[in-house]
Amino acid sequence: MSTLAELRAGDTLNDIVLSPVSRLDLIKYAGASGDYNPIHTIDDEAKKAGLPGIIAHGMWTMGNLAKLFTPYHEEGFLQDYSIRFKGMVFLNDVITLRAELMEKNDKQLKFNVAALNQDGREVLVGTAVFAQY
C-alpha cells in the first residue's frame, strides 16, 4: 500500500467490493448504531412502507465507504465527509466502494467518493476531504 501523499489528481484508491448485503449485516448495524427503524430489518414493515423489501441503512453504506481511508490514519484524517443518498440498497446487492482524488491543495486532498451497486448505479455519492498532518 502506498501513501495518499503520492497520489495525483485523477488517481483512485483501490476499490473495495463488499460481500452481498445480508440481513445480519443490517441487524448488526441497527444494534451498533441504535437505528432500529424496522424498514431495515423486518420484511413486513418494509412492505408496509411501500418498499419491495428491507433496505440498508444509508449510514451503513456511508460507514462502509469511509474505510477506504482508514489505512492512512498516520498521514491525516477525514476532515469533511459529505454524502448524498441517491438510491436504495437491497438485500444481496453487491456494493463497490470508490474514491478518486480530484484536487490536491496545501495539506488537503479532496476526493470524490461513491458507492455503486452491481448494476453500476450510484447509490451514494459525495466528497471526502482528507487533511494531512
Three cell numbers, residue 74: 498516520
Q: 101 — phi, psi (to 5°)?
A: -75, 125
DSSP assignment of 60-92: HHHHHHGGGTGGGTTTEEEEEEEEEE-S--BTT
Name which position in 6, 8, 44, 70 contacts another protein (CB under 8 A). 70
Considering only residues 85-124, where is the footprint of another protein by CB under 8 A? 85
- Considering only 66, 91, 94, 102, the residue that binds another protein (CB under 8 A) is 66
- Distance between CA 6 and CA 17 in Å, rounded? 23
Taking CB under 8 A as the criterion, the residue among 63, 92, 107, 118 binding another protein is: 63
Rg of the chain in Å (alpha carbons): 16
Whichever of 52 and 71 has its CB closer to another protein, that residue is 71
Confirm or reject binding of residue 81 to another protein (CB under 8 A). yes
Tally of residues, the chain: 133
Site for another protein in 18-57 (CB under 8 A): 18, 25, 28-29, 31-35, 37, 39, 49
The identity of residue 42, as a single letter, is I
Residue 79 interacts with another protein (CB under 8 A): yes or no: yes
The footprint of another protein (CB under 8 A) covers 18, 25, 28-29, 31-35, 37, 39, 49, 58-60, 62-64, 66-67, 69-71, 73-74, 77-85, 126, 133
